Amino acid sequence: MLALPTMIAKGQEFPIKTNFGSQLQKEALKIIQSKPLISQEEIDRRRFQITDLLDDLKGLPDSTHERLTVCFELHRQLAEFFLLSQGHWIGSGKSLIRILEATDAKMADRFFEVFKAQKQEAIESLVQDILKPEGGLLWVGFRSEAPSEFKKNKNHFEFDLIQLIPAVLSDHPAIQNMARFYVYDMSEYMGSEPGWETPEDGLYECIDFKKYWEPDSTASPFLIKYKDELAGFAIVDQKGSDEQVDFNMAQFFILRKFKNKGIGKFVAQSCFEKFKGLWEVNVMLENHGAYKFWKKIIADYAQGDFTEERKRIKHLGHTEKNIFRFSSVKKC
């Protein structure tokens, strides 16, 4: 950021000019004329953030408030990355655009046209062109160490105290009760869809999960506990979008007090390890939170070796889903 050095370099000392002021202006000019130093760690962090924003856009329909918000943030971060990678200082707000125009007018015009139209293909092309010289998109393998004070947080979760317990029919009421919160959490993304209106009595309902214990069911239901406290449930079955699929994550839920702690990732990947074969995870198109959650977990677990497509699933009423497919059998 050059706002302060620029103000000093171009400013006029008042009420009188001093040697100190002159020296300060010389130092400010040196800063302006130098190139910003950016570490490889910072480059990778910015690549990851831009890749993450680009991925967010893929799940968002055109002309929505959410898509517009993500586009604004992607525009800012991508412009900053371009300038820094070219050895130029960055600014904020309108200063960022002015610096971009002064540095590369053609690139500034391309930014304007691409983000004005908000077409996914054009945005992806621009992102890839800018990131390619620095290594391209970055998703799998990125790691950022938390500050030491965060690692000593008293709320740190001990993963060896997470339990994945096979659920029997007598556990059905507990899972069905948690399913109310499952539906409530999904309503954040699905609430504007027909059939997802808030119930008149204020009690959200979920489909009856008792079907997962029927004699002809291929399902394996589990209770998730942390320190013997209920934390959610997971249900794995063998009903994929086609006959090639061995296992499917039929239902998965972590209670809110246990979210964003790494428990969901730990449990999901434990399921992948427990059931070896070709996996599918399907996500409702509107459920952007679940889409982002599953894509990150699967990309990490499969080390990028997975596929993603939109497909209608026959046994789910021919509804269209985002489908992730990968294998939990490690290649030698």
Most confidently modeled range among 5-14, 132-141, 189-198, 295-304 = 295-304
Query: Which pLDDT value is given to residue 78?
Result: 95
**Residue 212 and residue 291: Cα distance in Å, rounded?**
24
Is domain 152-327 in CATH 3.40.630.30, yes or no? Answer: yes
Full-model pTM = 0.58
User: Would you say residue 63 has pLDDT above 80?
Assistant: no
Long-range contacts formed by 221-224: CB under 8 A, 24+ apart = 221/166, 221/167, 221/171, 221/175, 222/164, 222/165, 222/166, 222/167, 222/271, 223/163, 223/164, 223/165, 223/167, 223/171, 223/174, 223/175, 224/162, 224/163, 224/164, 224/165, 224/254, 224/263, 224/267
Task: Give span(s): CATH 3.40.630.30, the chain.
Answer: 152-327
Which is nearest to 313 in space by CA: 260, 248, 224? 248
User: Would you say residue 193 has pLDDT above 90?
Assistant: no
- Percent of residues in the chain assigned helix, strand, coil, to nearest 5: 50, 15, 35
- pLDDT, one tens digit per residue, over 218-266 is 999 999 999 889 999 999 999 999 899 999 999 999 999 998 888 999 9
